[in-house]
A and B are shown apart, each in its own frame.
Chain A
Amino acid sequence: MDTKVRIDIVGKRKIFLAISIIIIIAGVIGFCVRGFNLDIDFTGGTTQQYNLHKEITDQDIAKINDIMVDVTGEAASSIQITGSERQEILIKSKELSSETRDAAFDAIAAEFGLTIADRYSVDNVSPSVGSDMSRAALISIVVAVALMLVYITIRFSFKSGLSAIICLVHDVLVVLTFYVLFAIPINTSFIAAILTIVGYSINATIVLFDRVRENKKAMSRDDFANVVNVSIWQTMNRSILTSLTTFVMVLLICIMGVDSIRNFALPIVIGIICGTYSSVFLSGNFWYMLENKKGTGKSSKAAPAKAKRAKA
């Protein structure tokens, strides 16, 4: 069996943990400073997208803002230029009635000479729908994670299940950091993206744990740290290659896709990177640290120095 260990990942676990903690702290600071960019799916509101068929200038945006103030009595919460040719405008505002939306479109259409075909999209969500959505999102994530914990506990052990879940929480936090720092709107795609990342990351973790489970029997005389290290390196090729193929697919959606699909794919790109990172560098370490906590078993006898450091 190939038992080559290129880098002692278990021994250097503090470095890997530190990297993740720094990223998550950045996310927490970002969250405290400006919070999440919650999209209308959660807060309620209206977005309208129009093709103006021209290069959009600052004056155009100012004009549209004036129209919004006239029609709705309030400035739009944001007006962005969008579309592959940067000729489309995306107006976000508080929830507007159908009649008000019509009035806004008529005024903008008159100003820029638009027809009804230039009305690319209209989304309107009431706050009541938004709060239902948040609840569904939370429930689905909690249910999914709980079911996974049960499954892994049955197939492996509770400690490995717990390690896998800690990894998932890590992945979710890192992706949330990404959302906060780059102010990506959090909408329904966000829930799908998070759950995809969760499903994907746990996939890699399980492939590693499967190796640990197998090697534990074959290498019963080795300490657990070594078993984990060997298993990580045995599954390293798989971890990198699978991430690469999925990464290629998602990156292409991201590069070529339209805005709505890009909002969904971009977090998954980040999630694949961080999911692979957590599976390779963290999941085995969490399991090792949980097994070692009691200070009993083979690991503490074979590697007392490491065990002490882990406690310190």
Chain B
Amino acid sequence: MGKTLPKFVVTLIVIAILAYIALAGIYAGNFMIPSVFDTENGIRKGLDLVGGSVITYEAQIEESMSPDELSTSMDSVVSMMRQRLNSLGLYEADITKVGDRRVRIEIPSIDDPEEAVQKLGSTAQLVFCDYQGNVFLTGSDVVSAKSQYGQTQQNGTSQYYVSLTFTQDAAKIFAEETDRISKLPQGQNIIAILMDGEVVSSASVSYRIDSESCVIESPTFTAEETTWLADIITAGQLPFALKDVELRSVGPQLGERALETSLWAGLIGLILVAVIMIVFYRIQGLMSVIALVAYVAIVGIIISVFRFNLSLPSIAGIILSIGMAVDANVIIFERVKEEIRFGKSVKASVESGFKRAFKAILDANITTLIAAFVLWQFGTGSIQGFAITLFVGVIVSLITALIITRILLKCMVGFGVTNHKLYGA
């Protein structure tokens, strides 16, 4: 009895501290445990909650491409995508390689996903051709491309344009071709610059141009467009086209509603579960509800510290694991009740109830962990999120049921609470 009170109080204080940390976080210089509400340093809200797009591109490769070559090219796809995202102002986007020939791009809070799909996926195939469509130079002959503002012709108006610098070899070809084209009749003496098959600029040529540089101009160019154009030309060209094979896009309005309703569902569910436990198991139930508070707090801290991406399926995983967390307690309490009915003292019943329930709890939870683990390994995006929270939830529920509930129940016995009815027996 003497040690029971301090033990009980310490346990409650520990749980209260855990709950406080989960809600408020700890911010002490370099050491930080973010609060569950801190989406800047802690939990990252999934794109289905804040709105955003997930775009997957697949390289349309030739059979002859070697795995090494593919792998190198995919790396340049990633760096090219980063550059293109930056030039579109999408700095918060994440890029991941998926499998050997896909890249997944996650862009939070984007207004027009289709624009991103089209701009990011373009192959940036730049060609120079004559009026008949004969290509004489391509983007790989370009050393650098810059967006500039100014006059491109004497007495012309100032405008945005892209200035290109050719390699030495390309400059020679350019000189020869301009020479040839300038001699063609009026109307046919045209050089067109095509980007991905679309004419971005065309101009008539009246004399040989012996220069290492050239400009792409169009009266409709804006600063954004020329910057973007210059960037993707510089980023280089890929040996294959990229196809957008998957797009998942959720508007912010839909996401907001999803988060709110899920949180309410979780809260009301938690209260109902607490009521059910207390009605059926009285004092044992009350202790398990206290342990459940610890459970929710620990799960909250874990997902904040490890910065889990909280998507709808992962919220479902958490809510489901709350239901399952109670299961270990139920198995134990049923055992305790049985032992009491069998005629044992309450103290001995709690002792042997935990002991005899342990095997069942362990085996049952390990099989659930197997399912969660397999989902984690073989699942994709959102399913992995579900699997991880379920996995974490099951492990934490084991700890809280086997340690915290046990300490609390033993305290109850220590306090002399031994009326059988209070244990639901």
Contacts and interface: CB of A to CB of B under 8 A. Distances in A.
Partners in one complex: yes
A264 to B, nearest CB: 6
A124 B319 contact: no
B319 A249 contact: yes
Given A203-B327, A242-B330, A245-B276, A257 B265 contact: yes
A296 interface: no
A251 to B, nearest CB: 8
Given A98-B118, A244-B276, A249-B269, A261 B250 contact: no
Tell me which of A105, A196, A214 has the highest count of chain B C-beta atoms within 10 A of its own C-beta: A196
B316 A265 contact: yes
B316 A253 contact: yes
A117 B371 contact: no
A2 B342 CA distance: 8
A192 B243 CA distance: 28
B326 A203 contact: no
Interface string B163-189: 000000000000000000000000000
Main secondary structure of the interface of B (DSSP, over half): helix
Contacts of A207: 331, 360, 364
Contacts of B269: 248-249, 252-253
Contacts of B48: 260
B417 interface: no
Interface core residue of B53, B253, B254, B323 (most chain A CB under 10 Å)? B323
A144 B374 contact: yes
Contacts of B118: 98-99
Contact of B330 (A1, A198, A241): A241
Interface in B49-100: 53, 56, 58
Contacts of B374: 140, 143-144, 147, 195
A121 interface: yes
A7 interface: no
B262 A242 contact: no
Contacts of B276: 241, 244-245, 248
B363 to A, nearest CB: 5
A140 B117 contact: no
Interface in A255-280: 255-258, 260-261, 264-265, 268
Contact of A120 (B112, B251, B382): B251
Contacts, number: 229
Contacts of B258: 257-258, 260-261
Nearest to B244: A98
A140 B378 contact: yes
A264 B322 CA distance: 17
Given A133-B380, A252-B269, A264-B316, A128 B326 contact: no
B224 interface: no
Given A98-B118, A151-B367, A248-B272, A120 B247 contact: no
Interface in A122-176: 122-126, 128-129, 133, 136, 139-140, 143-144, 147-148, 151-152, 155
Interface string B351-375: 0000010011001111110111011
A245 B363 contact: no
A202 B367 contact: yes
Contacts of A2: 338, 341-342
A256 to B, nearest CB: 4
A246 interface: yes
Interface string A61-79: 0000000000000000000
B363 A206 contact: yes
A89 interface: no
A245 B327 contact: yes
A256 B114 contact: no
A238 B313 contact: no
Nearest to B268: A252
B324 interface: yes
A144 B370 contact: yes
B277 interface: yes
A237 B338 CA distance: 11
B248 A123 contact: yes
B331 A238 contact: yes
A128 B382 CA distance: 19
Contact of B327 (A51, A202, A242, A253): A242
B378 A148 contact: no
A242 to B, nearest CB: 4
A140 B375 contact: yes
Contacts of B315: 261
Interface in B250-292: 250-251, 253-254, 257-258, 261-262, 264-266, 268-269, 272-273, 276-277, 280
A117 B253 contact: yes
Contacts of B364: 202-204, 206-207, 210
A238 to B, nearest CB: 5
A199 interface: yes
Given A122-B249, A199-B372, A101 B114 contact: yes
Nearest to A207: B360
Contacts of A125: 245-246
A119 B249 CA distance: 9
Nearest to A234: B338
B196 interface: no
Contacts of A119: 251
Contacts of A136: 378-380
A60 interface: no
B114 A196 contact: no
18 contacts: A98-B247, A120-B250, A120-B251, A126-B246, A136-B378, A139-B378, A189-B313, A206-B360, A237-B334, A241-B330, A242-B327, A242-B331, A247-B323, A248-B269, A248-B272, A261-B315, A261-B316, A268-B320
Interface of A: 1-2, 49, 51, 84, 98-99, 101-102, 105, 116-126, 128-129, 133, 136, 139-140, 143-144, 147-148, 151-152, 155, 188-189, 191-192, 195-196, 198-200, 202-204, 206-207, 210-211, 214, 234-235, 237-238, 241-242, 244-250, 252-253, 255-258, 260-261, 264-265, 268
Interface of B: 48, 53, 56, 58, 111-114, 117-118, 121, 243-251, 253-254, 257-258, 261-262, 264-266, 268-269, 272-273, 276-277, 280, 312-313, 315-316, 319-320, 322-324, 326-327, 330-331, 334, 338, 341-342, 356, 359-360, 363-368, 370-372, 374-375, 377-380, 382-383, 386-387, 390
By Cβ-Cβ distance, the 6 closest A-B pairs, closest first, are A246-B323, A199-B371, A140-B378, A210-B360, A126-B245, A144-B374
